[in-house]
C-alpha cells in the first residue's frame, strides 16, 4: 500500500504527480472541457485548440523541434507502436522489409518488431556488450539496402545504460535509414536536441516525469515517411485519430517545465550514493549497466544467491517500493531479457533489484533503505542453499 510513509523507489514505472501539474490540469476538467476539434463551432473550442498547441510547443521545444513535428499519443507504448508500424506500413512496398533494433529494448519496441515479423518483415535484434551498449560496427554491418528503420533506445529502462544515439544517428543518416529512439526515461533529464542529433522519431511520455499517466508523444521529423496507424478523425496532423487528451497534454507540458538540472543532479547523487554503499557494504553484489553512462535516476544491482521477489516483498513490509528482474515477478515467468542481454545468467537476473529515484526521494531514504536491505539480504542468504561455502569462508 502506498501511503505517506512509503518510500517509493520505482520511479521508472510511475511517478507521483506533482501538485503544480494537477493545478495546471484542473481547469480543463471543469471549465474548459471542450475539445480542440470544435474550434470552428464555439469559442471554448478555440481555447482548447490554443491550450493544446501551447502544450505542444513547450514539449516540442524541449527536443529542439517545431510544434508540427510533435504529436500526442496515449503514452510511450503507443508512440513506439506508431513509430515502428507506421514506418513499416509507409515503406513496405517502396524500400524494403528489414528493421533493426536491440535485444534489450523495452516491450513496446520489441513486441512491435515481433508483430511486424509475423507480417513478413525481417528484424535484426542486435546484441549488446556487457554494459548494455549497442556495438556500432555491428549496427553498421547489419544495415542493408532493404533496411527501413533502426530503433535503438536512448537509455535502458532496467539497467539505465545510455546509448550513443548521436553516433547511431550518424550511421543511420550515412546509410539513409530512418532512426527511432525510445526516450521514455531520458526526456527532459538528458538533453536531446534534434538539431544536433540526427534522429527521425522519438518516443516520450508523461508518467516518468511526475506528469499524468496516459499521455505521451512522438516526435516525427518533417518529411519522415510514416503511415497513419490509428484511424478515425483528422486530429494530430491527421497522423493519430482520437479525441485529444487536453488535460493530459497540459499536464505533460507543465511536468516538463518543472524538471530542472539541479534536480537531476540530486537524483544522480542518490544514485551514486546507493551504488557505492551497496557495492562496498553488501558482499556478492554486482552492478548491472555501466557505472557512469547511465540514467541519473537509475541503480540496478544483483544480489547473488537470493531471489528478487523475496527481496522486494521484504522491502515492501518495511515500506520501500522497488522492482526486480526476477522471473517470479514477471507475468511471463521469465527472467529479465535485459540482464540476459548483457550476458547475465538466470541467477543474476532473478536477484536483480532496480532502484529508480524521483523528485520526492531524499538521501535519508537511501540511507534507511541500505540499512534495511543489508539485514534482508543477510536473512535470505541464511536460508538459501546457494553460495553457502562462499558465505562460510567469509565468516
Sign of the torsion angle spanned by Cα atoms 111, 115, 121, 122: positive
Residue 327 contacts another protein per CB under 8 A: yes
Residue 243 contacts another protein per CB under 8 A: no
With CA atoms as reference, report the closest residue to 223 among 154, 176, 174, 187.
Answer: 176
The stretch near another protein (CB under 8 A) out of 49-57, 72-80, 182-190, 344-352 is 344-352
**CB 386, min distance to another protein, A:** 5
**CB 368, min distance to another protein, A:** 17
Residue 14 contacts another protein per CB under 8 A: no
Q: Which of residues 207-236 bind another protein (CB under 8 A)?
A: none
Label residues 164-175 b or e (16+ Cβ within 10 Å = b): ebeebbebbeee
Size of the site for another protein (CB under 8 A): 28
Residue 143 contacts another protein per CB under 8 A: no
**CB 307, min distance to another protein, A:** 5
Beta bridge partners of 355: 299
- Sequence-distant (≥ 6) Cβ neighbours of residue 28 within 8 angstroms: 48, 51, 246, 247, 250
Q: Give me the sheet containing 352-356, strands edge to edge.
A: 285-287, 298-303, 352-356, 323-324
**CB 4, min distance to another protein, A:** 14
Options 68, 166, 176, 316; binder of another protein; rule CB under 8 A? 316
Surface-to-core class of residue 387, CB atoms within 10 Å of its CB (0-12 exposed, 13-18 middle, 19+ buried) = middle
The stretch near another protein (CB under 8 A) out of 21-29, 141-149, 152-160, 303-311 is 303-311
CB-based contact 334:327 (threshold 8 Å): yes
Q: Which helix (H) or strand (E) holds 20?
A: helix 19-25
Options 39, 64, 272, 305; binder of another protein; rule CB under 8 A? 305
CB-based contact 131:161 (threshold 8 Å): yes
**CB 99, min distance to another protein, A:** 18
Options 326, 336, 352, 361; binder of another protein; rule CB under 8 A? 326
Q: Which of residues 353-392 bind another protein (CB under 8 A)?
A: 382-386
Q: Which residues are catalytic?
A: 328
Residue 317 contacts another protein per CB under 8 A: yes
Between CA 317 and CA 51 the distance in angstroms is 44
Site string for another protein, 100-139 (x = CB under 8 A): --------------x-------------------------
Residue closer to another protein by CB (options 231, 392) is 392
Options 347, 354, 365, 373; binder of another protein; rule CB under 8 A? 347
Residue 286 contacts another protein per CB under 8 A: no
For helices 308-317 and 363-383, angle between their N-to-C axes, nearest 10 degrees: 130
With CA atoms as reference, report the closest residue to 70 among 225, 189, 237.
Answer: 237
With CA atoms as reference, report the closest residue to 237 among 223, 248, 257, 255.
Answer: 223
Residue 307 contacts another protein per CB under 8 A: yes
The stretch near another protein (CB under 8 A) out of 132-140, 236-244, 253-261, 327-335 is 327-335
Between CA 134 and CA 154 the distance in angstroms is 11
**CB 21, min distance to another protein, A:** 26
**CB 196, min distance to another protein, A:** 40
Residue 17 contacts another protein per CB under 8 A: no
- Sequence-distant (≥ 6) Cβ neighbours of residue 385 within 8 angstroms: none
Options 331, 392, 393, 394; binder of another protein; rule CB under 8 A? 331
Residue 340 contacts another protein per CB under 8 A: no
Residue closer to another protein by CB (options 141, 345) is 345
Q: Give me the sheet containing 70-73, strands edge to edge.
A: 70-73, 216-220, 201-205, 178-182, 147-151, 98-102, 122-126
Binding site for another protein (CB under 8 A): 1, 114, 305-307, 309-310, 313, 316-317, 326-329, 331-335, 345-347, 350, 382-386
Amino acid at each position: 500500500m502506498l501511503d505517506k510513509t512509503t518510500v517509493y523507489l520505482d520511479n521508472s514505472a510511475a511517478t507521483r504527480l506533482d501538485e503544480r501539474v494537477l493545478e495546471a490540469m484542473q481547469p480543463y476538467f471543469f471549465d474548459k472541457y471542450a475539445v480542440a476539434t470544435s474550434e470552428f463551432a464555439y469559442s471554448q473550442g478555440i481555447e482548447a485548440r490554443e491550450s493544446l498547441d501551447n502544450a505542444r510547443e513547450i514539449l516540442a521545444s524541449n527536443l529542439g523541434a517545431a510544434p508540427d513535428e510533435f504529436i500526442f499519443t496515449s503514452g510511450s507504448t503507443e508512440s513506439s507502436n506508431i513509430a515502428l508500424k507506421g514506418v513499416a506500413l509507409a515503406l513496405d512496398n517502396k524500400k524494403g522489409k528489414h528493421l533493426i533494433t536491440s535485444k534489450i529494448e523495452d516491450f513496446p519496441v520489441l513486441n512491435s518488431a515481433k508483430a511486424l515479423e509475423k507480417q513478413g518483415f525481417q528484424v535484426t535484434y542486435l546484441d549488446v556488450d556487457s554494459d548494455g551498449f549497442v556495438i556500432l560496427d555491428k549496427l553498421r554491418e547489419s544495415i542493408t539496402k532493404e533496411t527501413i528503420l533502426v530503433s535503438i533506445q536512448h537509455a535502458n529502462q532496467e539497467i539505465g545504460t545510455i546509448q550513443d544515439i548521436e553516433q547511431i544517428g550518424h550511421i543511420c543518416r550515412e546509410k539513409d535509414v530512418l532512426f527511432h529512439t525510445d526516450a521514455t526515461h531520458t526526456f527532459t533529464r538528458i538533453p536531446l536536441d534534434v538539431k544536433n542529433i540526427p534522429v527521425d522519431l522519438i518516443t516520450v511520455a508523461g508518467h516518468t516525469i511526475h506528469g499524468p499517466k496516459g499521455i505521451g508523444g512522438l516526435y516525427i521529423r518533417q518529411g519522415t515517411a510514416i503511415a497513419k496507424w490509428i484511424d478515425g478523425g483528422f486530429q494530430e496532423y491527421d497522423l493519430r485519430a482520437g479525441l485529444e487528451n487536453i488535460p493530459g497534454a497540459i499536464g505533460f507540458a507543465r511536468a516538463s517545465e518543472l524538471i530542472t538540472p539541479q534536480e537531476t543532479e540530486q537524483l544522480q547523487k542518490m544514485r551514486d550514493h546507493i551504488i557505492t554503499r551497496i557495492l562496498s557494504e553488501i558482499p556478492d553484489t554486482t552492478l548491472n549497466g555501466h557505472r557512469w553512462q547511465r540514467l541519473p535516476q537509475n541503480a540496478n544491482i544483483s544480489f547473488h544467491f537470493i531471489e528478487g521477489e523475496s527481496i522486494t516483498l521484504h522491502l515492501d513490509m518495511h515500506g520501500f517500493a522497488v522492482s526486480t528482474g526476477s522471473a517470479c515477478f514477471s507475468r511471463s515467468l521469465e527472467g529479465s531479457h535485459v540482464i540476459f542481454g548483457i550476458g547475465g545468467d538466470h541467477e543474476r537476473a532473478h536477484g536483480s533489484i532496480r532502484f529508480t529515484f524521483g523528485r520526492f526521494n531524499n538521501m535519508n531514504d537511501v540511507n534507511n533503505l541500505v540499512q534495511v536491505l543489508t539485514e534482508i539480504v543477510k536473512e535470505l542468504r541464511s536460508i538459501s542453499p546457494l553460495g553457502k561455502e562462499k558465505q562460510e569462508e567469509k565468516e
